[in-house]
Structure 1
Amino acid sequence: MATTVQTFVPEQLTEVSFPITTLSATVIIQIPERFSVFEAVSLKQTCQDLIQGDTRPQEIIFDFQKTTFMDSSGLGALINSWKTTQEAKIIMLLRNVTPQVLAVLNLTELHQVFAIESSSTTPSIAANQVVNIQKISPRQKEQLPATHTSVGSWIKRSIDIVGALVGLVITGILLIPVAIAIQIDDPGPIFFGQIRCGWMGKRFKIWKFRSMCVDAEAKKSQVKNQVQGAFFKNEHDPRITRVGTFIRRTSIDELPQFWNVLKGDMSLVGTRPPTPDEVERYEVPEWQRLDVKPGMTGEWQVNGRSTVRSFEDVIRLDLLYQKNWSLSYDLQLIFKTVAVLFNKNSGAC
């Protein structure tokens, strides 16, 4: 995965440094005001250097007193550091967590994982003892970072709501014939729900018409992954049913996702929503793809989703969408998606 990091992180990130204070066996790292991809990758390297150094600390404290912005990459750096310190049996503690950072931790429920100290004079709190952190209040919700312009666009959200309502009407019309076909071909649940990671890594359940056999998840380990990197695909997956092949080729299986769009977990247009096990394999820079809401369609959908064989290509397409985003660009991708649906060579992501 090292080559992936070099692909979309500029070399100047090595110039980012953190004020470090050493007190006996405790190391305090001052996190800067902005905690984004450059700082995140540098922090990961800083932690590795500390752990691999001649004098390994017993405790590493991240001081967030000055931090007013943290995006997905910053979150990824914290998760990576937590895993590294856990393996090295080093205590990791978050200190002086600002409302902006706390809002992100609450969003992803990581406040239940990390040990958090409210101030420099408060005793350390073990992760399993963090019970007094309040739920996000309306004011705290406003502190969530504007990681990308599209996230805060009310026009985009309005288009999502209108599109989702229209899509749910279409879904309702097709529901009965699709349900009958699924039951005849492979009796079992009509819908398939799977946990995916959305904006900032927040988990949600995505819905589809079931296109695989009932025990597909249990059989996943028996199917060869034909792509490289942190996602799974097999062009001739034996778990896919006959009806499943058709509804995947026509993308009918994805119609229930209009419910996810209406709820706000997804957008009509965005990035590919990854599974938690995929995110577990992310390097810090790859978390950038979670700076926008996942979408029912996007660059990956209209640029050969069935032919993408490298995770680097997925990242490239996702970052391309973030770079080029505009309301008109979203509409272009929607129109292109409709055209792709009539292409017999298009396949499910």
Structure 2
Amino acid sequence: MATKVQSFMTSQPTEVNFPVTTLNETVIVQVSARLSVLEAVSFKQTCQNLAQGNNHPKQIIIDFQQTTFMDSSGLGALVSSFKTTQEREIAMILRNVTPQVMAVLNLTGLDKVFAIESSSETSSVTSDSVTDTQKTSSRKIESLPTTHPSVASWMKRFIDIVGALVGLVITGILLIPIVIAIQIDDPGPIFFGQTRCGWMGKRFKIWKFRSMCVDAEAKKAQVKNQVQGAFFKNENDPRVTRVGKFLRRTSLDEFPQFWNVLKGDMSLVGTRPPTPDEVERYEVPEWQRLDVKPGMTGEWQVNGRSKVRSFEDVIRLDLQYQQNWNLIYDLKLIFKTIAVIFNKNSGAY
């Protein structure tokens, strides 16, 4: 079974084959050695075709025996296929999951969601515990896939750590006046925590100084979304407090994110960190945004910032960052961000 797919980052079409074997009411799909964007689109289509047929199987087994690389798009295709099979009440089982694929599933917590058939079911149950420990260590050594050069750059991580420490010192100096201002304007929590999706879709809690009223999340449904696609913005959001408007215009509300950078959930420069409900709406190619760590700043912040009104523009800018990335480019974006912050006409809302 073959499906023509088109890369989201290039215009080069390609054809990817996923061998399918049918045994009674069970279908086995053999996954390719790589499951990145081109293969992922075809893989999703293959699974959809199997699940949506009139005589769909009762069970679909995804065989990862040959797979040694899976990036965010591959993960997105797997998640999408899982949802499709659930809707059709078809059991989806992962078989022969390699250490490289298991590392990705462990990172995102999906190892607890998918039904994973043990690759050692036919092995002796009296295996030595030392051997088990070695296998576990081997999986850790396999580590996670290098989905983008920035992920493996120790220099980028070093800059992140130094920048985060400096940023946290500045945040500490500004903390008291910000706390007082927030409490006088709208008493309540100082910080606002929200779950976001980071590298490879791993969920983490992002921190900001609270710029909205205490019950902002409950009131979100009452506010009109002024942008198109899988994210939310409103230029005159009534939930934003007076102090919050100042914090957003100066980007001071985002300073607690230096803690996220220090922990490694974010980088100083990267892509915009989406919320889980945004990721739920992604098509497979859009998962490429998650191939790099999310950043406190990036292309979309310095090229339009709050004027960006289309999710397609966010995707374009994020992929532009991935294509152009190098350390000098990161530094340029940091300096551009500083210039944007001091431009009174370019603040966020």
- Evaluate the alpha carbon distance shift between residue 293 and residue 316 of structure 1 in structure 2; reply closer, same or farther with a 3 A threshold: same
Residues 110-121 of structure 1 mapped to structure 2, 5 A cutoff: 110-119=110-119
Q: Which amino acid is 1:161 matched to?
A: I
Calculate the TM-score normalised by the size of structure 2: 0.92
Residues 1-349 of structure 1 mapped to structure 2, 5 A cutoff: 8=8, 10=10, 13=13, 15-119=15-119, 137=137, 139-140=139-140, 142-348=142-348
2:100–2:143 Cα contact (<8 Å) kept: yes
2:156–2:327 Cα contact (<8 Å) kept: yes
**What secondary structure does 1:347 align onto?**
coil
- Evaluate the alpha carbon distance shift between residue 135 and residue 170 of structure 1 in structure 2; reply closer, same or farther with a 3 A threshold: farther
Q: Which amino acid is 1:192 matched to?
A: F
- Evaluate the alpha carbon distance shift between residue 137 and residue 257 of structure 1 in structure 2; reply closer, same or farther with a 3 A threshold: farther
CA distance in 2, matches of 1:203, 1:82: 19
> For structure 1, which runs of at least 5 residues remain unmatched after alignment?
123-131
- Evaluate the alpha carbon distance shift between residue 200 and residue 261 of structure 1 in structure 2; reply closer, same or farther with a 3 A threshold: same
CA distance in 2, matches of 1:176, 1:136: 47
Q: Which deviations, in whole Å up to 9, do the C-alpha atoms of 1:224-265 show, x marking residues without a partner?
A: 111111100011000000000001000000000000000000
Distance apart, 1:119 and its partner CA: 2.7
**What secondary structure does 1:212 align onto?**
coil
CA distance in 1, matches of 2:7, 2:18: 24
Q: Which amino acid is 1:308 matched to?
A: V
Distance apart, 1:19 and its partner CA: 1.0
1:9–1:38 Cα contact (<8 Å) kept: no
Distance apart, 1:149 and its partner CA: 0.2
Identity of aligned residues (%): 80
Aligned pairs, number: 337
> For structure 2, which runs of at least 5 residues remain unmatched after alignment?
123-131
Q: Which deviations, in whole Å up to 9, do the C-alpha atoms of 1:131-157 show, x marking residues without a partner?
A: x9x997585254200000000100000
Distance apart, 1:72 and its partner CA: 0.3
Moved more, 135-144 or 321-330: 135-144
Distance apart, 1:55 and its partner CA: 2.4
1:250–1:341 Cα contact (<8 Å) kept: yes
Q: Which deviations, in whole Å up to 9, do the C-alpha atoms of 1:292-338 show, x marking residues without a partner?
A: 00000000110011111110000000000000000000000000000
Calculate the TM-score normalised by the size of structure 1: 0.92
Structure 1 consecutive aligned stretches of length 4 or more whose deviation exceeds 4 Å: 9-14, 134-139
CA distance in 1, matches of 2:136, 2:346: 42
CA distance in 2, matches of 1:191, 1:205: 12
RMSD over aligned CA atoms reads: 2.2
Distance apart, 1:209 and its partner CA: 0.4
